[in-house]
Chains A and B, each alone.
Chain A
Amino acid sequence: MRTGRMREDSSQAGNEGAPSASADGAKGRFVESDVQFPEEVTEIRCVGARAGGGVTVLADNGDTGKTWLFMAEDAGGEWTAQEAGLSLADCWISGAAVAPDGSAWLCGSFADTDGMRVKKINPDGVVEEKVPGMPEVKERDTNNIITQMGIDAAGRIFVLDLNGEILKMNPETGECAERMECGDEYVRYFGIAGEKLIVISESGIHVYDTAAGTALLEDVVLSELIAADSSLMSSDTEGVFPLVFTAGMESGSIVHADKSGIYYHNDKATVSEQLVSGDLNSIGSLSLVQIAMAGEEDFLILGRDATGSRILRFYYDKDVSSLPEKELTIYALEDSALLRQAVGIYQKENSGTFVTIKIGMTEKDGVTAEDAVAALNTEIMAGDAPDVMILDGLPVDSYIEKGLLADVSGIVAEVEQTDGLFGNVKNAYEKDGAIYGMPARFFPVVVFGMEDAVRAGESVTGFAGYIERTAAENPGKQVAYDLPAEGVLWTLYRADSANWVTEGGTLDEGRLTEWLTAAKKIYDADRDKSERRFYTSFDNVLYGTAGTGASYVMDGEALLCYGTMVDLGGLEMLLAAAEKTGADYGILGGDQKKSFVPHLQTGISNDSDMQEEAAAFLKVLLGKECGGIDQDGFPVNRAGWAAVCEDKIKMYGSESTISIGSTDENGRERGFQMDDLNQEAADRLAALLEGLTVPSLTDAVIEEVVTAQGEAYLKGEASLEDVVTAIRQKISIYLAE
């Protein structure tokens, strides 16, 4: 391992360790590239190194049922495909791994068999099936299954079962009778590096010798890693892990990766060396599945993001500058997976630019929005303004007034010319021909219910009246998929707040009073059925509530629902529920102005000396590739919208339907058949989105004042008059400032 060079790279790792420049002209660092497979491939299952050199990848197409083993001697070289006699369509795969002999192993339930099976796909494409003999599940009446699979350097197969125990599988019979002695603790997930089994259990991280089955000395590096970040302890999403492992070139060494990058340490080390920084590439935006070494200083990472599964290759390029020559700083009040994906896309195209993402409020530091804005302002006053600012939650109007933000109308026009934009969103941000901040995403608040409910939902007050009447006509019946007081206010604020501002820029008190009254009616309609309240806590669960609510309507547990719709998955859920119930959806509110919720509103600092790079990043964020990701709102980019529609229609509208099942907070199971999305439905949504002309109020101070006071009113702790007076008094001071 080139530790010297690694150290150079590790200096790029943190947000603080920005490069000054490679003044000495030093060359060489890890660079990222996407491993390209034929377009037919829709899912990549596993990746692994072969014992004699070279790598193997198992991939398939869920529609055609074709499965391939892709093999290459060098990850950057040519890949040869070997079709396997196995279809993975309509299968549930719980674990997959590549063995040192180049075969791929899969476990899960397959369309042609009952129960759990293990399949071995040999390098020549021949498939062998085995029935895994599993111990019984303790204290539960259910069949045991394999939840994770891994293979060590000697070809030993290890699986994790529902008991949280690691079992050694007999490769000949598939029998999983031999239990690894990892103590009595429930194992959350594991990794394999050479002949080391790395077990993450409730008490921390423990390393075992796969050959002897005995515990090894504590790995200080890994223990400290887990101790520093408890989120690495649990694997909440099936098939993806916070930490992935593989063996390094040096005997006994471990390479591990998490969202912050790829690290290496040998068994004598007390600290690890960062080989690749997550800030510099796409790792940070991926959910990790596996890592493999394709050669010395050549890594393959299998991960998933909103676009599906991908393999990223990180290889050492001795010809590129050891440190990027430029640094682009992006500031956002809150972290965003989509922003990180955009940075990844930008980074791939601009490897000579170092991107630092500064997040104002992280889960760890407990900083309030006000403190974060104050800290940002201090930096701005010190002449250290970020080059690109994600303006969500920031005092945008004030920044524009102070001349802090550059006019980005030229960049927006360029993207519009190339890909097309939702003109209604662009127009909402155009002032005297200039645009100082443009959202990359937007989404609506919708109502889902029978025709009269949707019609009533054209105004928040009408909707409240409808809910009140329906509650009276249906005593004891849950009317709306309900939210806690904060959730009601959060959602209705986004639906109606654009109507509160008068032409003179002041707050329309009458309209605000009507809104509070409506919110109270909506909240009270189901208040006496509080034991059925679906959400008991308010914690960022309000994005995409329309789709979730639709499932309750579909199951007859609520008559209607309202909430945000932030992706086509949400639309598909509404369509699936509509198909069963005859309900429909429409925009909530907007009898005067139909509003959208802007997201990732982005501006460029006027003082930045990286104008060109900042513009390039904004183009990526507003661009087609980023727009083709179906999450965190709908893209303003029309080509991106078309791409995401095409992709989802292909996925949801295919003959093989997708079922999505989940369990709610009360333990009830619910499921969807996702097969109703078609071009017509997408076009209808596009037409609705085009009709949204103004952004909802994004002023953090007004929202905080209104929701804090409004909550007291909804909960019956204050009268309407008192609340309106308090809001008026506070907002008038704010506006007077």
Chain B
Amino acid sequence: MDRQKRRKAVGLCFVLPGFMGVAVFYLIPFLDVFRRSFVTAVGNRFCGFRNYRTVFANAAFRLAAGNTLTFLAVCLPLLLALSLLAALGLSAVADNKRLYAVLKGAYLIPLAVPAASVVLLWKLVFDRHGFLNGVLDAFGIAGKDWMNSGAAFGVLVFSYIWKNMGYVVVLWLAGLASVPETLYEAARVDGAGRWDCFVRITIPLMRPVIFMIVVISLLNSFKVFREAWMVAGSYPEDSIYLLQHIFNNWFRDLSMDRIAAAAVLLCIAVFGPIRLLQRCWEDSR
């Protein structure tokens, strides 16, 4: 018993420095944000749920939250599916080591491109007088102001997929490599086809990997604001006005009360489903 306690204490000693960093830089600030969500911006007077009511009543917040949800609903499945397909394709050519390395590297290139360069490229391509409209014009098709019309959402989705696919492909590849080849061989001996192997062996054994990929992709999806803001500024086209835009603009207006309430809501909205997903998969084991 004493030995077990000692082991726990040693374990805690290892965990403690990391935990302290997380506490100082994330947990304690978040607790302060939580506190601020119940007080007024100036004067710090307790105001109950008024900030939450204000946020829910705010049309701009509802628009931003709706757009963010739509973006997640479109992007996450698309990213997971496309990257899985790419990973399976890559696995198929794994024997050709040279081709495998080249393709894997190509997928990872967008991740290495700085956001500012991506934005510059966007501007060159999607501007009113940009490359895309030039090409369309050459074929007699009327162009449009891509970033100031509904097409802006499509541009943002494309950018997210393009930028993140390589990373997710690598994660899928790691997951696929972790499935023992002997299981596939045994299944094939038992008469299982490719699809059976994929559905009955690959997917169940990759549950932890799938969970991790979903979480990482979800969190990465919030980073797309960077490109959206750099291209279209604080007030972009309606469809790409995201939650981070409103946070940014509220900060300019010193609306810390609203930011705090919205941040708490966002935290619940992100970590609630993640926790739920985790529980579901743990239960199904």
Enumerate chain A interface residues (CB-CB to B < 8 A): 370, 373-374, 377, 380-381, 395, 398-399, 402-404, 606, 701, 705, 712, 717-718, 722, 726, 729-731, 733-734, 736-737
Residue in chain B with minimal CB distance to A369: B252
Would you call A377 and B252 a contact (CB within 8 A)?
yes
Query: Which 6 residue pairs across A and B have the least CB separation, nearest first?
Result: A730-B235, A736-B60, A398-B253, A736-B59, A737-B60, A402-B42
Would you call A395 and B252 a contact (CB within 8 A)?
yes
For residue B274, CB closer than 8 A to chain A, the reply is: no
Q: In the docked arrangement, what's the CA distance between A381 and B128, Å? A: 40
Would you call B128 and A403 a contact (CB within 8 A)?
no
Q: Which one of A370, A398, A399, A722 lies within 8 Å of B234 (CB-CB)?
A: A370
For residue B129, CB closer than 8 A to chain A, the reply is: yes
Q: Which residues of A contact B250 (CB under 8 A)?
A: 737
For residue B79, CB closer than 8 A to chain A, the reply is: no
Would you call A737 and B249 a contact (CB within 8 A)?
yes
Q: In the docked arrangement, what's the CA distance between A730 and B246, Å? A: 12
Q: Which one of B41, B42, B129, B145 lies within 8 Å of A722 (CB-CB)?
A: B145
Q: Which residues of B contact A729 (CB under 8 A)?
A: 237-238
- Smallest beta-carbon distance B133→chain A, Å: 11
Would you call B58 and A404 a contact (CB within 8 A)?
no
- Smallest beta-carbon distance A205→chain B, Å: 37
Would you call B63 and A398 a contact (CB within 8 A)?
no
Given known A-B contacts A722-B145, A733-B241, A717 and B128 have beta carbons under 8 A apart:
yes
Q: Which residues of A contact B254 (CB under 8 A)?
A: 377, 380-381, 395, 398-399, 402, 404
Q: Which residues of B contact A717 (CB under 8 A)?
A: 128-129
Residue in chain B with minimal CB distance to A737: B60
Chain B 234-251, CB within 8 Å of chain A: the 1/0 string?
110110010000100111
Q: How many A-B residue pairs have CB under 8 A?
A: 59
Q: Which one of A377, A403, A705, A712 lies within 8 Å of B251 (CB-CB)?
A: A377
Q: Which residues of B contact A712 (CB under 8 A)?
A: 128
Would you call A402 and B41 a contact (CB within 8 A)?
yes
Would you call A404 and B42 a contact (CB within 8 A)?
yes
Would you call A733 and B238 a contact (CB within 8 A)?
yes
Q: In the docked arrangement, what's the CA distance between A606 and B60, Å? A: 29
- Smallest beta-carbon distance A241→chain B, Å: 40
Would you call B234 and A701 a contact (CB within 8 A)?
yes
Q: Which residues of A contact B145 (CB under 8 A)?
A: 718, 722
For residue B140, CB closer than 8 A to chain A, the reply is: no
Residue pairs across A and B with Cβ atoms less than 8 A apart, 6 shown, are A381-B254, A395-B254, A701-B235, A705-B235, A726-B148, A737-B246
Q: In the docked arrangement, what's the CA distance between A726 and B150, Å? A: 12
Would you call B128 and A718 a contact (CB within 8 A)?
yes
Q: In the docked arrangement, what's the CA distance between A443 and B224, Å? A: 44
For residue B18, CB closer than 8 A to chain A, the reply is: no
- Smallest beta-carbon distance A141→chain B, Å: 47
Q: In the docked arrangement, what's the CA distance between A701 and B249, Å? A: 10
Q: Which residues of A contact B43 (CB under 8 A)?
A: 403
Q: In the docked arrangement, what's the CA distance between A374 and B250, Å? A: 10
Residue in chain A with minimal CB distance to B36: A381
Residue in chain A with minimal CB distance to B59: A736
Residue in chain B with minimal CB distance to A371: B252
For residue B220, CB closer than 8 A to chain A, the reply is: no
Would you call A403 and B42 a contact (CB within 8 A)?
yes
Chain B 96-139, CB within 8 Å of chain A: the 1/0 string?
00000000000000000000000000000000110000000000
Main SS class of interface, A? helix
Q: In the docked arrangement, what's the CA distance between A208 and B246, Å? A: 61
Q: In the docked arrangement, what's the CA distance between A128 and B253, Å? A: 67
Report B6-38 residues with CB < 8 Å from chain A CB.
none
For residue B255, CB closer than 8 A to chain A, the reply is: yes
Q: In the docked arrangement, what's the CA distance between A736 and B62, Å? A: 10
Q: Which residues of B contact A373 (CB under 8 A)?
A: 252
- Smallest beta-carbon distance B39→chain A, Å: 12
For residue B256, CB closer than 8 A to chain A, the reply is: yes
Most B CB contacts (10 A, CB to CB) among A395, A712, A733, A736 go to A733
Q: In the docked arrangement, what's the CA distance between A736 and B65, Å? A: 14
- Smallest beta-carbon distance A219→chain B, Å: 41
Q: In the docked arrangement, what's the CA distance between A399 and B41, Å? A: 11
Q: In the docked arrangement, what's the CA distance between A374 and B256, Å? A: 12
Q: Which residues of B contact A402 (CB under 8 A)?
A: 41-42, 254-255
- Smallest beta-carbon distance A267→chain B, Å: 47
Q: In the docked arrangement, what's the CA distance between A395 and B249, Å? A: 11
- Smallest beta-carbon distance A353→chain B, Å: 26
Residue in chain A with minimal CB distance to B148: A726
Q: Which residues of B contact A701 (CB under 8 A)?
A: 234-235
Q: In the docked arrangement, what's the CA distance between A399 and B256, Å? A: 12
Q: In the docked arrangement, what's the CA distance between A66 and B19, Å? A: 82
Would you call B255 and A398 a contact (CB within 8 A)?
yes
Knowing that A377-B252, A722-B148, A737-B58 touch, tell me 12 more A-B residue pairs with CB under 8 angstroms. A370-B234, A370-B252, A381-B256, A395-B254, A398-B255, A403-B42, A404-B254, A701-B234, A718-B145, A729-B238, A734-B235, A737-B60
Q: In the docked arrangement, what's the CA distance between A53 and B223, Å? A: 70
Q: Which residues of B contact A377 (CB under 8 A)?
A: 251-252, 254
Most B CB contacts (10 A, CB to CB) among A377, A705, A730, A731 go to A730
Would you call A737 and B42 a contact (CB within 8 A)?
no
- Smallest beta-carbon distance B229→chain A, Å: 10
Q: In the docked arrangement, what's the CA distance between A404 and B60, Å? A: 24
Q: In the docked arrangement, what's the CA distance between A377 and B259, Å? A: 13
Report B207-249 residues with CB < 8 Å from chain A CB.
234-235, 237-238, 241, 246, 249
Residue in chain A with minimal CB distance to B63: A733
Given known A-B contacts A402-B42, A717-B129, A733 and B60 have beta carbons under 8 A apart:
yes
Q: In the docked arrangement, what's the CA distance between A403 and B114, Å? A: 41
- Smallest beta-carbon distance B185→chain A, Å: 58
Q: In the docked arrangement, what's the CA distance between A209 and B283, Å? A: 90
Q: Which residues of B contact A381 (CB under 8 A)?
A: 254, 256
Q: In the docked arrangement, what's the CA distance between A736 and B237, Å? A: 15
Q: In the docked arrangement, what's the CA distance between A736 and B61, Å? A: 8
Q: Which residues of A contact B129 (CB under 8 A)?
A: 717
Q: Which residues of A contact B246 (CB under 8 A)?
A: 737
Q: Which residues of A contact B238 (CB under 8 A)?
A: 729, 733
- Smallest beta-carbon distance B247→chain A, Å: 10
Q: Which residues of B contact A726 (CB under 8 A)?
A: 148
- Smallest beta-carbon distance B259→chain A, Å: 10
Would you call B128 and A733 a contact (CB within 8 A)?
no
Report B25-75 residues with CB < 8 Å from chain A CB.
41-43, 58-60, 63
Q: In the docked arrangement, what's the CA distance between A734 and B64, Å? A: 12
Report B154-212 residues with CB < 8 Å from chain A CB.
none
Q: Which residues of B contact A736 (CB under 8 A)?
A: 58-60, 63
Would you call A733 and B251 a contact (CB within 8 A)?
no
Q: In the docked arrangement, what's the CA distance between A403 and B42, Å? A: 7
Report B254-284 residues with CB < 8 Å from chain A CB.
254-256
Residue in chain A with minimal CB distance to B252: A373
Would you call A733 and B42 a contact (CB within 8 A)?
no
Residue in chain A with minimal CB distance to B256: A381
Q: In the docked arrangement, what's the CA distance between A398 and B129, Å? A: 37
Residue in chain A with minimal CB distance to B250: A737
Q: Which residues of B contact A722 (CB under 8 A)?
A: 145, 148
Q: In the docked arrangement, what's the CA distance between A705 and B129, Å? A: 20
Q: In the docked arrangement, what's the CA distance between A190 and B42, Å? A: 54
Q: In the docked arrangement, what's the CA distance between A718 and B149, Å? A: 13
Q: Which residues of A contact B59 (CB under 8 A)?
A: 736
Q: Which residues of A contact B148 (CB under 8 A)?
A: 722, 726
Q: Which residues of A contact B256 (CB under 8 A)?
A: 381
Q: In the docked arrangement, what's the CA distance between A404 and B43, Å? A: 9
Q: In the docked arrangement, what's the CA distance between A254 and B231, Å? A: 52
- Smallest beta-carbon distance A704→chain B, Å: 8
Would you call A395 and B241 a contact (CB within 8 A)?
no
Q: Which one of B63, B237, B252 lies within 8 Å of A374 (CB-CB)?
A: B252
Q: Which residues of B contact A705 (CB under 8 A)?
A: 235
Q: In the docked arrangement, what's the CA distance between A731 and B251, Å? A: 17
Q: In the docked arrangement, what's the CA distance between A121 and B59, Å? A: 77
- Smallest beta-carbon distance A6→chain B, Å: 41
Given known A-B contacts A726-B148, A729-B238, A736-B59, A374 and B42 have beta carbons under 8 A apart:
no
Q: In the docked arrangement, what's the CA distance between A733 and B249, Å? A: 10
